[in-house]
Amino acid sequence: MPKDLLSYPLFRDLPKRVTEIRVRKGGRLCYLTPLSRFSTEHLVTDAEFADLLSFVTDRSLYALTEKLTNGYLPLKGGVRVGVAGEGVANGESIKTVKHVTSLAIRIPHQIFGVADFLGIDGYFNQNVLIISPPAGGKTTLLREIAHTLSDRGKNVVVLDERGEISGAGEGVFAMNVGENTDVLFGFPKKQAYENALRAMNPDYIVTDELSGTGDVEGVLRAYYGGVKVAATLHGEDIDVFHGVFAPLDKVFDRIVLLSKSPVVGTVKREVRR
């Protein structure tokens, strides 16, 4: 875990390889490692929960209202804190979140060599799609693909809207994404694709969590412009090219399906097309 979280009293006895912590007001403290999910005997008190919420919001919950309405708080080092509570609506949008009841703290890890099975070298020239359920190891593998491509001489542009791939924060990257990598952090995806293709001259665009028509359009622009793409997508099987994602069927020629069993990040199936 990042040092600031390790120092927090509620987490001091958790293992270093923890990848997710679930904190529910009045509930048991739970955590996830690459091996399994664990539930401790500790029941989180209202006072502990309030102090943790203050800690992750840097003692200023109301100053982070805009980020809270996205459902999560981005912290240094690529840590993301999912927030559950009562949404306060303003028409069809969410104005703020109050009465927060639980936090899901996602902690990124860098595992060098995890992408070696792809055989990435200076001549690697494939569009790669990684598919798995949530918390299945997609971002860890994607990060290592970016790092390896970059260190093999490719110009890589990482579209890192939430900072999870690079661990971006205040101009510093907590993760090693390669010596020839440029990161667009905090940009809305549509703007990030446009900036990358117009100004950054990438060999590869690396992007996390394809989620709708905007992402599909961006990937297709890169594809037709001769730029390769490595991306991730939530799913349970290789057959994901339907609905809004149907146009991407012709784009990806290397597809990797990850599983959480027996450990997070297990390659369940790989397809070369």
Does 128 or 136 have the greater pLDDT score? 128
Tell me which residue has tokens 């390896």: 148
**Whether 267 contacts 140, CB under 8 Å:** no
For the residues 194-220, what does the mean pLDDT come to? 95
- Distance, in Å, from the CA atom of 73 to the CA atom of 219, rounded to the nearest integer, reads 27
User: Rounded to whole angstroms, what are the CA distances from 226 to 69, 192, 202?
Assistant: 36, 17, 10
Mean pLDDT, the chain, integer: 90
Instruction: Give me the residue spans of the domains in the chain.
Output: 3-106, 116-272
Picking from 227, 226, 192, 196, the residue whose alpha carbon sits closest to that of residue 209 is: 192
**Choices 3.30.450, 1.20.120, 3.40.600, 2.60.40: CATH for 3-106:** 3.30.450
- What CATH class is the domain 116-272? alpha beta
Label residue 73 by pLDDT band (50, 70, 90): confident
CA pair distance 105, 125, nearest whole angstrom: 35
Predicted local confidence at residue 17, as pLDDT: 85
Closest-CA residue to 251 (of 210, 192, 200): 210
Whole-model pTM: value is 0.86
Q: Please report the pLDDT score of residue 7 as a whole number.
A: 74
Cβ-Cβ contacts under 8 Å for 72 (sequence gap 6 or more): 80, 81, 82, 83, 162
Q: Does pLDDT of 62 surpass 80?
A: no
How far is Cα 181 from Cα 108, in angstroms, rounded to an integer? 19
Q: Which two tokens stand for residue 47?
A: 């006072």
105 has a pLDDT exceeding 90: yes
Predicted pLDDT of residue 21: 95
- Of 83-92, 151-160, 206-215, 225-234, give the lowest mean pLDDT range: 83-92
Nearest to 83 by CA among 225, 66, 180: 66
Task: Using the predicted structure, report yes or no on whether residue 48 has a pLDDT greater than 80.
Answer: yes
Check pLDDT > 70 for residue 3: no
Whether the predicted pLDDT of 64 surpasses 70: no
For 7-42, the pLDDT digits (tens) are 788 998 898 889 899 999 999 999 998 888 899 999
How far apart, in whole angstroms, are the C-alpha atoms of residue 159 and residue 97? 27
Query: What is the pLDDT averaged over residues 38-50?
Result: 95
pLDDT band for position 63 (cuts 50, 70, 90)? low
Percent of the chain with pLDDT over 70: 92
78 compared with 201, residue with greater pLDDT: 201
Read off φ and ψ for residue 148, nearest 5 degrees.
Answer: -70, -45
pLDDT at 124 over 90: yes
Task: Identify the pLDDT of residue 248.
Answer: 96
pLDDT of residue 172: 83
DSSP string of 214-259, one letter each residue: HHHHHHHHHHHTT-EEEEEEE-SSS---SGGGGGGGGT-SEEEEEE
